Structure 1
Amino acid sequence: MKEQREGIVEYIWRVFSSMKLGLILLGLVALVSGVGTVFPQVNLDPETAKEVGQIWQTLGFTQIYSTVWFRLLMGLLCINLIVCSIQRFQGIYNRTFALKPPVSVSNVFSKIKAKLAGESEPLKISVQDVLKRKGFKVTINSGDNGWSFIAIKRRLGNWGSLISHISFVVLVIGAILGTTMGFKGFMMSSAGSTVPLNSISVSKGRINQDFSVHIYSAEDRFLANGERDNWYTDMGIIENGTEVLRKTISVNHPLTYRGVTFYQSSFANGASLTVDLKDQKLPIVLQDHGGNYFQAPGTELYLIAAAIKSDPQKPIMLYQVYRGKGVQPVQTGQINAGETIDVQGEYKLTLEGNAGFTGLQVKQDPGVMVVWLGCALLLLGLFLSFYWRSMVVLGVFESGQGTDGELTMGTMAGKVTGGVQQEFDRLIHDIQAK
């Protein structure tokens, strides 16, 4: 029974250490990602995603990156990379720290090789001086019939491939943390409003924080030459009835509190009005182009702002009033700043001035630092792999008659030998010249 269990473990290890499996999984990830670009995703374009056929929505094609099977696919790929990395670790470690001078000519690399004839001591000194000047760390062993050496430089370049593989695992872990423990939402709120964070619309995840957001002002500012400056939102964080933070944010200048980040993403014009209903004055804010509505309490009247002229000197609002489920307005008109009108004999309406609506993207991503770590590891791995490639030169000197003999030198080279061959040839030339 024990041997059977060991056999199963070895089989699973062998499967997940296969490069062929890694290539298959990478191909499947690329295929699924391609499908994700064809089908509109709920978190990016919810309205278009709703128009996709029900069968595709059920299969998760409109939220493909958060489906269980996509995460399973990424998990299998991560396991494959981890197993391959563990399997390669000892070999990389040995190539970096455990290489020793060869004991015979047969141990010298044969792919790139050269032979030098000369006297033992001058040749040894020349080899040592040239290699050290070129940045190699040289180790020499002396024997009865000659000597041998090994020289290594940029030894950390051996770790580039392994670090690149590990970086992918870290990136996937960061992405999974962001999708499972964080959230992404959106809020469109008017100046003067206070919005509990857990009441906003979310496209993914769940909100666990219980603080509120107060919008002091929302502005669409323009420069003196008429060009747009930026969208600005003066906002505060309210926790347990106390304001704990206040900041004005704009595009590319977000606010972060308790891991939740607020990004300025849009702006809409609005109008500030006062409703006089049965001697009760109610302040309301309506969004341009019918973005929201006001229903007078105790009535079936619905008021919207059809259009707003946001001139700070002379704001004007075109309004429409609907009754019940009617599709045709029962009252329309224009109202100027400071003007009061009667709405169907039910209440009076006064336009106070402009009021902006701010669109904020709200996001919590606990995996963002892990993702940044993965990006840093990826850059480090690529740098070590392509710009800090390790080079190993070794050789064996065999004595002939007297002090003369022959030095056989070689260097380790991968599939691309061009640059290595050129550098090796320069070393041979410098040794001969010296």
Structure 2
Amino acid sequence: MEQVKCECGHVNPYGTVLCESCGKPLEHTAKPLLDMRYEGSARRSQTYNKTIVDKIWNFFSSVKVGVWLIVITLVASAIGTIFPQKMYLPPNVTPSEYYEDRYGWAGKLYYELGFDNLYGSWWYILLLASIGVSLVICSLDRVVPLYRALKKQGVTRHESFLRRQRLFSATRMEDESFLETIKQRLAKRHYHVREENGNILAEKGRFSRWGPYVNHIGLIIFLIGAMLRFVPGMYVDEVLWIREGETKEIPGTNGRYFLKNEKFIFETYEKGKSNPVFNEAIDRVGSGMVAKTYQTTAVLYKRVGPTVPGEEPKLKKVKEYHIRVNDPLKYDHYALYQVDFKMNELNKMSFELIDKQTETVFGNLSIDLNNPKPSYDLGKGYRVELLSYFPDFYFDNDGNPATKSRVPNNPAFVFKMYAPDKPKGEISFVAIRQTIEPFGDNKYKMAFADVETRNVSALTVRRDFTLWILGVGGAIFMIGVIQGMYWNHRRIWLKIVNGEVLLAAHTNKNWFGLKNEVRAIIEGTGLMMPIDQAEEEKKEAQGGKGNGATK
């Protein structure tokens, strides 16, 4: 498309509304005042609309589109906080059942719509990416033309440009001695004064015009940091449930680190054993009712050598630490925080094989509830097979035994008992306080003998390489807020035409402050105070009478 040449000789890009040099309107408009938002510069979104690239650019350059994307994202984010996200559910529950059982039909709908993992869903990430694209295109579509227009603005402005500014006055003056006084006052108020052929352009606070775009840069960096959290290795936020005496791979470390729970300690404040200053508080709530210490005595190991499937990893001890609340174990940018615990989880159950009539004991066995054996030899021809094991037993809708999870909250077993006089064996279903013999009355039974428990500790595994990016983005955003909020871009033009002094002024905000400043600058010079033409136009529309701007 062809460029537009102004009568002042400056060549403007196609689509320019006001000449970049002299400010003369290049397009006819019925509005009495000029639109100075972007200095009348040529914006791509307002000029090109032919190719698919142009249409995409124009779509994302719209402020309305950007606002709607932000609103939709905020609404979606709020919905994600109604019920806990899947990552924060107890490890021994099934999400589909948990949401429905706890929150009813609303929880079921919440799960079916995928809100249980909202912040990691593809469409939520797409919303964040769309906001980022919108910010980039909105900024480029405006800041580049605006920068070019402000950089190329001339001192000598076209008369129509001055007369169509919001603040304008025309005063007939015989003497030009007032110019030196005005220049001194402008310089005293930190204006950058430029003079050309007796015309004056005074400007200050231009950097405040870049405040919104600095905001955009900060938001873009912040969004990049947020999206990098979905890149493997950049962000880890996992929960590790580990039993006493157990060594487990730390999630999120790709098998590099393992942790052993030596012991979990839970202490409370008890009267007579705690500092006497706590006695009054202990009496108020009861001895042993207030927690004092949550501590996991942990040993951190690092894998040595390559990973071989099916082979036990070779581990090297790297650190031992007492993990307490707000006192995490830290190593290699990982941090393990104490967040939860479970006391007295079932660990082993012991049974005796006895004759139901004589109650003679023919042997006993101990079942590891987390790793049970398929068969137990009791000697002298007595043997017990474990046909089925249900760690968290319940009857499903069809009346069949099933398990809710792999955590031994309510263990149940199907045993097959062999004896010299019962070579084909007898089958018995055994649960807590419940024994069922599905094939008739058995001679032998499995009698509960003893139980062994152990404590379980819950640790949160954290690693965050995006935090500094979020911090930088947030800091830049706040700089942009301050930059655009507390400073104004102010310009004052003076032009002498045939003995008449044209005075015009413009600011991007705080017109009241600009009026007071102009009044102080021209005081005693004989120049007429500029009239606010926007207010005059409003008065005329309401049936009033304007004051005029010519003396």
TM-score w.r.t. structure 1 length?
Answer: 0.68
- Give, in whole Å, the separation in 2 of the partners of 1:111 and 1:409: 8
- Give, in whole Å, the separation in 1 of the partners of 2:477 and 2:123: 26
Structure 1, unpaired ranges of 5+: 199-205, 285-292, 305-319, 331-342
User: Which string of whole-angstrom CA distances, capped at 9 and with x for unpartnered residues, describes residues 211-251 of structure 1?
Assistant: 11233444445563256455344434211322334444433
Structure 1 residue 410 corresponds to structure 2 residue 505: yes
Q: Which amino acid aligns with 1:391?
A: H
The equivalent of 2:138 in structure 1 is 84
- Give, in whole Å, the separation in 2 of the partners of 1:347 and 1:412: 85
SS at match of 1:326: strand
- Counting only pairs closer than 5 Å after superposition, residues 169-208 of structure 1 correspond to structure 2 as 169-181=220-232, 182-198=235-251, 208=254
Q: Would the alpha carbon gap of residues 398 and 74 (structure 1) be closer, same or farther in structure 2, given more than 3 Å must change?
A: same
The equivalent of 1:328 in structure 2 is 432
- Give, in whole Å, the separation in 2 of the partners of 1:23 and 1:384: 22
- Give, in whole Å, the separation in 2 of the partners of 1:217 and 1:100: 77
The equivalent of 1:130 in structure 2 is 185
SS at match of 2:469: helix
Q: Which amino acid aligns with 2:476?
A: L
Q: Which amino acid aligns with 1:23?
A: V
Q: Which amino acid aligns with 1:75?
A: A
Which of 493, 516, 521 in structure 2 is aligned with 1:425? Answer: 516
User: Which string of whole-angstrom CA distances, capped at 9 and with x for unpartnered residues, describes residues 375-416 of structure 1?
Assistant: 2232222222222x3322221141766xxx6351412234xx
Equivalent residues, number: 374
User: Which string of whole-angstrom CA distances, capped at 9 and with x for unpartnered residues, describes residues 261-311 of structure 1?
Assistant: 32221234459999999xxxx9x9xxxxxxxx577764779999xxxxxxx
Instruction: Give the conservation status (yes or no) of the 8 Å contact 2:209–2:489.
Output: no
- Give, in whole Å, the separation in 2 of the partners of 1:124 and 1:230: 78
Q: How far apart are residue 87 of structure 1 and its match? A: 0.8
Q: Would the alpha carbon gap of residues 167 and 48 (structure 1) be closer, same or farther in structure 2, given more than 3 Å must change?
A: farther
Structure 1 residue 252 corresponds to structure 2 residue 326: yes
Deviates more, 1:52-61 or 1:254-263: 52-61
Q: Would the alpha carbon gap of residues 327 and 356 (structure 1) be closer, same or farther in structure 2, given more than 3 Å must change?
A: closer
- Give, in whole Å, the separation in 1 of the partners of 2:474 and 2:111: 32
Q: How far apart are residue 84 of structure 1 and its match? A: 1.2
The equivalent of 1:19 in structure 2 is 63
SS at match of 1:179: coil
- Counting only pairs closer than 5 Å after superposition, residues 219-234 of structure 1 correspond to structure 2 as 219-220=265-266, 222=269, 224=275, 225=278, 228-229=291-292, 231-234=294-297
The equivalent of 2:307 in structure 1 is none
The equivalent of 2:286 in structure 1 is none
- Give, in whole Å, the separation in 1 of the partners of 2:391 and 2:113: 41
Instruction: Give the conservation status (yes or no) of the 8 Å contact 1:197–1:212.
Output: yes
- Give, in whole Å, the separation in 2 of the partners of 1:98 and 1:249: 63
The equivalent of 1:151 in structure 2 is 203
Q: How far apart are residue 140 of structure 1 and its match? A: 1.8
The equivalent of 1:28 in structure 2 is 72
The equivalent of 1:381 in structure 2 is 480
Deviates more, 1:392-401 or 1:73-82: 392-401
- Give, in whole Å, the separation in 2 of the partners of 1:69 and 1:119: 70
SS at match of 1:43: helix
Instruction: Give the conservation status (yes or no) of the 8 Å contact 1:105–1:395.
Output: no
Q: Which amino acid aligns with 1:328?
A: I
SS at match of 2:80: helix
- Give 1 or 2: higher helix fraction: 1
Whose relative contact order is higher, 1 or 2, with alpha carbons under 8 Å and at least 6 apart?
A: 1
TM-score w.r.t. structure 2 length?
Answer: 0.55
Greater C-alpha radius of gyration: 2
